[in-house]
Amino acid sequence: MMKHLKLPFASHEEPSENFDPERYTPVIRCSICTGEQVAGFKDRITGRVRDVMLLHGEKDLQAFRKRYGITEPIEKVY
């Protein structure tokens, strides 16, 4: 049985296709226990991470990169 992951957002709106690279850094949150990876954005001011999508594999990572126009390496945080 597959569990549904509820991702927290600051509001109930869908994530934007754009992000402010001056304020946010793309990151991948990785669980050292389960290996689960979630792509999102880290606020450079507060350090809080906003999760955007669960990554099941390389295709999901490429979709995240394409959706937000990310070409630089993405930092992994544990």
DSSP secondary structure string for all residues of 18-70? ---TTTEEEEEEE-TTT--EEEEEEETTT--EEEEEEE-SHHHHHHHHHHHT-
pLDDT for residue 17: 65
- Give one word for 24, left, alpha or beta, with left for phi > 0 and alpha for psi -120 to 50: beta
**Whether the predicted pLDDT of 48 surpasses 80:** yes
pLDDT for residue 19: 85
**Whether the predicted pLDDT of 54 surpasses 60:** yes
Domain boundaries, the chain: 24-77
